[in-house]
Amino acid sequence: MNGIGCFLEGLKLIRQPGLRRYVVIPLVINVLVLSAAILYGVNQYEAWMAYVDESLPDFLSFLGGVVTVLGMVIGLAVLLYTFTIVANIIAAPFNAILSVKVEEKITGQILTSNTSLHLILIRSVTLEISKLLYYLPRLIGLVVISLIPGLNALAPFLWIAFGAWMMAVQYTDYAADNNEISFSELRSRLNSNTFQALSFGMPAYFLLAIPLINLVLIPAGVAGGTKFWIEHLR
């Protein structure tokens, strides 16, 4: 099954009996975090665009429309990434347990690694911090590129590619960690399956921007990422 197929399979898996209970708590968390993120993002966007309009020299005023569109793309990307990171840190223990249950359901085998609740809690939160440290320098680099004349024409495409890659990393690492695979080893395996990884991450990246659907994206992504792990990375 290809990357897109694994992601779509995740949407089906979270509706199955025995797995729904692990979706409810992250879903409630997503609603609260997303509501706060949208409110903050709208307020900051208006203030930022006003600042940019005032800062543009008169001879560059014709670029106002371009800057507005670019600002919307960058603002949406930053909002989505921030929402995903914060929500996943909070929901990490539940996502790790969901991944365990999905893998056991798909394979019919009980995981032999240590999946006790307190260890899952510690490992999952630690892993989210590792992903954050991996993500932030690259995010800063993209923001810098977006501000450089000429290079910023590539920025929307780079944001999309990076977003798809981060979705693949984000949603396969629960299964990898449950199978005692390090974060660096997971990235190496994803690099060896770059096209499939991007095809999995791309729908997750775009669906995250759709109201209501994005509320179930995280548990669906975890389930689909576990399916992707079994099919392509294990």
Cα 50 from Cα 100, distance rounded (Å): 47
| Confidence band for 59, pLDDT divided at 50, 70 and 90 | low
Residue 77's pLDDT is 67
Average pLDDT over residues 184-204: 91
Least confident window among 59-63, 108-112, 204-208: 59-63
Cα 172 from Cα 147, distance rounded (Å): 32
Q: Higher model confidence: residue 218 or residue 45?
A: 218
Measured in whole angstroms, how far is the alpha carbon of residue 177 from the centre of its chain? 17
Residue range 29-58, pLDDT digits in tens: 777 777 777 777 777 766 766 666 666 566
Q: Are 165 and 197 in contact (CB under 8 A)?
A: yes
Residue found by looking up tokens 């590792």 in the block: 130
Q: Higher model confidence: residue 65 or residue 8?
A: 8
Residue range 123-141, pLDDT digits in tens: 777 877 888 888 888 888 8
| Confidence band for 69, pLDDT divided at 50, 70 and 90 | low
Q: Higher model confidence: residue 44 or residue 61?
A: 44
Using CB atoms within 10 A of its CB, is residue 186 exposed (0-12), middle (13-18) or buried (19+)? buried
Residue range 74-127, pLDDT digits in tens: 766 666 666 666 766 777 788 888 888 899 889 888 776 555 666 767 777 787
Q: Looking at the predicted structure, is the pLDDT value of residue 25 above 70?
A: yes
Q: Are 37 and 83 in contact (CB under 8 A)?
A: yes
